[in-house]
Amino acid sequence: MLDSVAHSTFLPSTSFCDPLMSWTDLFSHEEYYPAFEPQTACDASWASVPPEHWTRRHVWEWLQACCDQYRLDPSCLSLCHLNVSGLQLCSMTREDFLETAGVSGEHLYLILQSIRTQGYSFFNDTEETKATIKDYTEPGCLRASVTKSQACPSHSRASLQSSHLWEFVRDLLLCPEENGGALEWEDRQQGVFRVVKSDALARMWGRRKKNDRMTYEKLSRALRYYYKTGILERVDRRLVYKFGRNAHGWQEDKP
DNA sequence: TTGGCCTTTCCTGTTT
DNA sequence: AAAACAGGAAAGGCCA
């Protein structure tokens, strides 16, 4: 079923992305990000609409929320095959989900069915949901997924979508494969890092903020404001910054 | 509606 | 000379 639907109805342009591309990869490349229909006031949130009535945007946001909340591994998802409406999503069988997203597909299927039968309160109750999912799945699978997320805390799209610039920078540092060599640690223990590709970093931040006029000059001005608040400390070397006493989450042994 | 926070933008001057 | 740094000022955008 999946093949016939996924490669026709589901996928107006199958070649628009690599099926193995990770969630963050996909999100960070605007050329791959699906061109959704303009959002309207009544199109506010997937959680306010029954799954059967979700738009492709809703489905996309639901997938993000699932990855974020349940630490599913987005790199397992064949995102092209999940570029579908809610009605199409609801018509997918457990096997379709498994085929499309492997272990994560199993979880997604269970989460979707739970939302359909129990409503959104189920989704919001993380512990209960996790327990239910564990009941249905092999213990090792979920653990493997969680372990990968923990090893690379910014692997999910959520962390790279951090609302503050310093968190965005921190998360890029914590996941070097995501930053394209734009940033690197100079002294990991001391929190000292270097901006290697200033223009690339500015472009990434601009893409994150949907601002194509972002430059390193403007980004660095925002970074300099962090000196006042102790998020960053001054390092008297060009393109080198240091996390300050009020920055958190960058140390290896601290949350 | 408002005020606060976090940028963004622009600017001038300085340093590397 | 060019790139980066420094920091003031004002405006924008978001959120409670």
Quick: pLDDT tens for A173-206. 988 877 888 999 999 999 999 999 999 999 999 9
Which residues, including other chains, have CB under 8 Å from residue A26's CB and lie 6 or more apart?
A: A17, A32, A33, A79
What is residue A127's predicted lDDT score, i.e. its pLDDT? 44
pLDDT band at A21 (very low <50, low <70, confident <90, very high): very low
Closest protein residue to B16 (Cα–C1'): A238
Q: What pLDDT is stored for residue A199 in this prediction? A: 92
Q: Give residue limits of the domains in chain A.
A: 2-151, 162-243
- What's the pLDDT score for residue A63? 76
Q: Output the distance from A64 CA to B8 C1' rounded to whole Å.
A: 28
Instruction: Write out the CATH class of domain A162-243.
Output: mainly alpha
**Residue A229 pLDDT exceeds 80:** yes
**Cβ-proximal residues to A126 (8 Å cutoff; 6+ apart), any chain:** A69, A70
Under 8 Å between Cβ of A163 and A157: no
Q: Mind listing the pLDDT tens digit for each residue in A56-105?
A: 777 777 777 776 666 666 666 666 667 677 777 777 777 677 777 766 77
Residues with CB under 7 A from strand B: A 163-166, 205, 209, 211, 213-214, 217-219, 221-222, 225-226, 229, 236, 238
CA of A182 to C1' of B5 (A): 28
Lowest mean pLDDT among A110-119, A143-152, A201-210, A211-220: A143-152
CA pair distance A45, A68, nearest whole angstrom: 16
Q: Enumerate residues 6+ apart whose C-beta is below 8 A from A107.
A: A66, A70, A72, A133, A137, A142
Phi/psi class of residue A226: alpha, beta or left (left: φ > 0; alpha: ψ in -120 to 50)?
alpha
- The pLDDT of residue A175 is 81
Work out whether strand A183-187 and strand A192-195 pair parallel, antiparallel, or are unpaired. Answer: antiparallel
- Distance, CA of A41 to C1' of C16, in Å: 21
- pLDDT of A232: 94
CA–C1' distance A253–C16 (Å)? 33
pLDDT score at A239: 94
Task: State which nucleotides on strand B lie below 7 Å from a protein beta carbon.
Answer: 6-11, 16
